[in-house]
């Protein structure tokens, strides 16, 4: 019976540790591309030429780095409690008598500190970078595009704007 109890408690501790480590993965980042539409006073292409009216040509006028930050939430104490419980279960598996009590106490303290640290890292503020690519069209208008990465675009490059998407021309 004692052997079965020990096997069950070790299995429960392993499952709990694996569930706690799943919380360490950072939150995904989602970028949204936006553009500022330009409505020309005259058609972009003369009628009858068969050109796509949604395609514009221009050159990259500027590339800016935009930083955004998510707020931090601090710790709620849940990580410390969960870590303390797990640490106590694991620490209780070692030693006999007073040694077992000491190992359990050390497991509770160490697990609480580790759980609190993991929760603080998950809830910390995060800084993200995106880029604003400003394009001056051949018609003299400026359009701006927020992108996660400018890729190989540099200031002065010729670009094509096709349905709100920029690409090297």
pLDDT tens digits, one per residue of 33-79: 444 444 444 444 444 434 556 788 999 999 999 988 888 888 888 88
**What is the maximum alpha-carbon separation in the chain?**
94
pLDDT, mean over the chain: 78
Would you say residue 137 has pLDDT above 50?
yes
CATH number (3.40.720, 1.10.10, 2.40.50, 3.90.1520) of 31-71+125-169 reads 2.40.50
Do 102 and 160 form a contact (C-beta atoms < 8 A)? no
Show me where the domains of the chain are located: 31-71+125-169
The residue with greater pLDDT, 55 or 19, is 55
| pLDDT at res. 167 | 86
How many other CB atoms are found less than 10 A from the CB of residue 132?
15
Q: Which of 113, 144, 127 is nearest to 37 (CA)?
A: 144
Q: Taking residues 111-124, report their average pLDDT.
A: 89
Whole-number Å distance between alpha carbons of 161 and 51:
13
Q: Which of 59, 55, 33, 35 is nearest to 149 (CA)?
A: 33
CA dihedral 148, 150, 152, 157 (to 10 degrees): 160
Is 49 in a helix, a strand, or coil? coil
| pLDDT at res. 19 | 62
Q: Which of 137, 127, 128, 168 is nearest to 35 (CA)?
A: 137
Would you say residue 17 has pLDDT above 70?
no
Whole-number Å distance between alpha carbons of 62 and 140:
14
The residue with greater pLDDT, 27 or 66, is 66
pTM of the model: 0.46
Kindly indicate the confidence band of residue 32, based on its pLDDT and cuts at 50, 70 and 90.
Answer: very low
| pLDDT at res. 1 | 66
In this structure, of 18-22, 32-36, 81-85, the range with the lowest mean pLDDT score is 32-36
How many other CB atoms are found less than 10 A from the CB of residue 10?
13
What is the distance in angstroms between the CA of the first residue and the CA of the last residue of the chain?
75
**Residue with token string 């995060």:** 126
């Amino acid at each position: 019976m004692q052997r079965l109890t020990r096997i069950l408690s070790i299995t429960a501790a392993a499952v709990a540790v694996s569930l706690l480590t799943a919380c360490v993965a950072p939150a995904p980042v989602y970028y949204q591309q936006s553009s500022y539409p330009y409505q020309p006073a005259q058609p972009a292409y003369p009628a009858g030429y068969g050109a796509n009216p949604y395609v514009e040509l221009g050159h990259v006028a500027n590339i800016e780095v935009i930083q955004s930050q998510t707020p931090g939430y601090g710790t709620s104490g849940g990580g410390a409690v969960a870590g303390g419980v797990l640490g106590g279960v694991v620490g209780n598996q070692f030693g006999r008598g007073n040694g077992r009590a000491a190992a359990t106490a050390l497991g509770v303290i160490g697990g609480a500190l580790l759980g609190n640290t993991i929760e603080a890292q998950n809830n910390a503020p995060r800084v993200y970078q995106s880029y604003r690519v400003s394009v001056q069209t051949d018609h003299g208008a400026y359009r701006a595009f927020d992108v996660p990465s400018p890729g190989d675009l540099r200031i002065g490059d010729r670009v094509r704007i096709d349905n709100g998407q920029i690409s090297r021309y």
